[in-house]
A and B are shown apart, each in its own frame.
Chain A
């Protein structure tokens, strides 16, 4: 398979780092200093690296995703591709005409009418007059602006202005189509139209490069992609692997944040010193897979001997309420006396939870199930890093990672009711 876009060891260094606008004064003094001391030539590079030796290839005719957190360099990479910004080093190769669907509000001028804007803006982004003439009606229909096309754009609502910009941008006929988080701004109906347009371009054999935080859209549209982090490629390959990697990176950070919130506040009777999570072989781990065995171990020290404590461990995904509550009050497990150092282990043989971060809350009730020995508090967190095997729907990763947290086995059966069948 041949490539449409090739990044070869590309770096981009932004001049930032110094505050405000460059001023003549500071540049002149620097020039003067340099002339006076020619030995100091080897200036240290300043600014920061937005892209740090990035190399990748996008195959021709494929949809390719670039994901990553804010500030990872995604937009910078697209700017190289669309030639808006110039790489500091490395080589970029592009086969075919590039068109971008990016936030374009600035191209639409408020004083001009919708019609004038389509004609002028269309040509600025590289459409020929014939192309615009041919597609003018499509553009107007796509933007849903038939009635107000001869009004100055300043009379439009902000949504209408955005639609106009997108409508023009999305009607260019490129070989390589670049979409940068464009979908986030339109209303729901418009988003659907954009997705349709993108998938149609791909089915026509165009190459699509898609930057988005809408992971479900990424997974459905793109078979491959890369995960950019701090200007470096963190993962690259099949979109679902890359997506899983990215979601797990997000979860790891969240897990650390939650662990930071754990206070281990002792009560008058008990202290929970530490919570750890172990797999079936007793190995301590921070991340698990759906369906695996998990042991939650609490290191509990009792200040005084405590009779008949009832432990309760709740698992929550951060929203109010528990997803799972393991309670001695319910199962009737009895501990006669707790004194000194103890380990309380709660074993879940098959974890029914899908990938994300889970909080562990704990409380201990006194005998007769009355009165608190240990107040309900956050004691730890673990994460599920891999979902159940065998899910291969078009949104498997995005959906298991962001929708409902509980996993259960199920199957579908679709039958046509005999009496409803259309007679042939």
Chain B
């Protein structure tokens, strides 16, 4: 029989924590299923929201940045240029905002049942993955009419998505843990996400950032390299720049690790604070 030993005032090591998450993977998956069902049950238009959101942003972008501000998108039509980054961006922002809110949303459960506390956050990020799949469908079906390309480069979508999901998860873990203790983060999150969008190459190309700052920019904002990768795939039909991607992936790992460490540090008190 397995014997569990809990040492008071002493927390799991980080690696042991990862093992714990793996042991509770089924629970994370159940949370994902739960969020997907809830999301589309509560909303009248259901699954259509996964399309409406990026499309309305696309409309605003095309009018605001394409027509009025004349942002250069090279040889690609601006709408294809914008949509190819909007779909992954929508995933990233939803993953971070839903993931960081999941702990508060299921706080009641945390006080009643034990599972690795990361499970609701992981579940929320996974659930958002479904939105991304629907967004990809949009890129494949509607995209060609707007000027996106379909090519072999699309095999890079999965690795790019994984990097993006890890980034979203790390941020969601960090912000989620903070928002359990400090309710101020309910107001911080939307603000942060909006600022982050304008700080990322969603509406404008990566080349807008001056060359001498670009390396710093890519390290500070790992989303930039990822979004640029998606844009290359869908708007240009090229493979992502692997050098950029390596920088983004490393920065992502650092951020995700920091978020996870923060989460672990704060985790023992969750059930008492929620």
Cβ of B216 within 8 Å of any chain A Cβ, yes or no, is no
Residue of chain A at shortest CB distance from B32: A120
Cβ of A123 within 8 Å of any chain B Cβ, yes or no, is yes
Binary flags per residue of B118-154, CB closer than 8 Å to A gives 1, else 0 = 0100000000000000000000000000000000000
User: Knowing A24-B184, A106-B108 touch, does A92 contact B6 (C-beta < 8 A)?
Assistant: yes
Contacts of A94 in B (CB 8 A): 3-4, 6
Contact in complex: A86, B108 (CB < 8 Å) = no
Q: How far is the CB of B224 from chain A (nearest CB, A)?
A: 29
Within 8 A of A (CB), among B1-25: 1-9, 11
Contact in complex: A15, B8 (CB < 8 Å) = no
Q: How far is the CB of A38 from chain B (nearest CB, A)?
A: 21
Q: How far is the CB of A180 from chain B (nearest CB, A)?
A: 10
Contacts of A107 in B (CB 8 A): 108-109, 112-113
Q: How far is the CB of B28 from chain A (nearest CB, A)?
A: 10
A80's partner among B6, B26, B34, B273 (CB-CB below 8 A) is B6
Contact in complex: A84, B269 (CB < 8 Å) = no
Contact in complex: A100, B113 (CB < 8 Å) = yes
Contacts of A88 in B (CB 8 A): 8-9
Contacts of B272 in A (CB 8 A): 14-15, 85
Contact in complex: B30, A112 (CB < 8 Å) = no
Please choose the segment from A124-132, A279-287, A350-358 that sits at the chain B interface, where 4 or more of its residues have CB less than 8 A away: A124-132
Contact in complex: A125, B3 (CB < 8 Å) = no
The CA-CA distance from A127 to B54 in the complex, in Å, is 37
Contacts of B26 in A (CB 8 A): 123, 128-129
Contact in complex: B112, A111 (CB < 8 Å) = no
The CA-CA distance from A125 to B3 in the complex, in Å, is 19
Residue of chain B at shortest CB distance from A79: B271
Contact in complex: B271, A95 (CB < 8 Å) = no
Binary flags per residue of A77-91, CB closer than 8 Å to B gives 1, else 0 = 001101111111111
Contact in complex: A83, B6 (CB < 8 Å) = yes
Residue of chain A at shortest CB distance from B27: A124
Contact in complex: B37, A112 (CB < 8 Å) = yes
The CA-CA distance from A106 to B104 in the complex, in Å, is 12
Cβ of A103 within 8 Å of any chain B Cβ, yes or no, is yes
Residue of chain B at shortest CB distance from A20: B183
Contacts of A22 in B (CB 8 A): 181-182, 273
Contact in complex: A91, B7 (CB < 8 Å) = yes
Contact in complex: A86, B1 (CB < 8 Å) = no
Contacts of A109 in B (CB 8 A): 34, 38
Contacts of B271 in A (CB 8 A): 79, 84-85
Most chain A beta-carbon neighbours within 10 Å: one of B1, B42, B111, B268: B1
Q: How far is the CB of B203 from chain A (nearest CB, A)?
A: 32
Q: How far is the CB of B144 from chain A (nearest CB, A)?
A: 37
Contact in complex: A82, B183 (CB < 8 Å) = no
Residue of chain A at shortest CB distance from B182: A24
Contact in complex: B8, A83 (CB < 8 Å) = no
Most chain B beta-carbon neighbours within 10 Å: one of A24, A86, A120, A123: A86
Cβ of B41 within 8 Å of any chain A Cβ, yes or no, is yes
Most chain A beta-carbon neighbours within 10 Å: one of B11, B33, B109, B183: B109
The CA-CA distance from A111 to B35 in the complex, in Å, is 11
Contacts of B11 in A (CB 8 A): 86
Contact in complex: B182, A104 (CB < 8 Å) = no
Contact in complex: B273, A15 (CB < 8 Å) = yes
Contacts of B6 in A (CB 8 A): 80, 83, 86-87, 91-94
The CA-CA distance from A211 to B27 in the complex, in Å, is 27
Cβ of A116 within 8 Å of any chain B Cβ, yes or no, is yes
Q: How far is the CB of A421 from chain B (nearest CB, A)?
A: 51
Binary flags per residue of A109-146, CB closer than 8 Å to B gives 1, else 0 = 10110001001100111101100000000000000000
The CA-CA distance from A103 to B109 in the complex, in Å, is 10
Contact in complex: B111, A10 (CB < 8 Å) = no
Most chain B beta-carbon neighbours within 10 Å: one of A10, A14, A79, A106: A106
Cβ of A378 within 8 Å of any chain B Cβ, yes or no, is no
The CA-CA distance from A24 to B179 in the complex, in Å, is 10
Contacts of B41 in A (CB 8 A): 111-112
Q: How far is the CB of B137 from chain A (nearest CB, A)?
A: 25
Q: How far is the CB of B111 from chain A (nearest CB, A)?
A: 6
Contacts of A89 in B (CB 8 A): 8-9
Cβ of A235 within 8 Å of any chain B Cβ, yes or no, is no
Contacts of A90 in B (CB 8 A): 8
User: Knowing A85-B272, A103-B112, A120-B30 touch, does A23 contact B8 (C-beta < 8 A)?
Assistant: no
Cβ of A205 within 8 Å of any chain B Cβ, yes or no, is no
Cβ of B31 within 8 Å of any chain A Cβ, yes or no, is yes
Residue of chain A at shortest CB distance from B106: A106
Contacts of B4 in A (CB 8 A): 83, 93-95
Contacts of A126 in B (CB 8 A): 27, 113, 115
Contacts of B114 in A (CB 8 A): 82-84
> What 10 A-B pairs come out closest when comparing CB atoms?
A106-B108, A87-B8, A123-B30, A89-B8, A83-B114, A86-B268, A92-B6, A90-B8, A94-B4, A120-B34
**Can you give 6 A-B contacts (C-beta < 8 A)?**
A24-B182, A86-B6, A112-B37, A120-B30, A123-B27, A126-B113
- In addition to A15-B273, A89-B8, A126-B115, 9 A-B residue pairs with Cβ atoms within 8 Å of each other are A24-B182, A27-B182, A80-B6, A83-B114, A91-B6, A92-B5, A102-B112, A119-B30, A125-B113
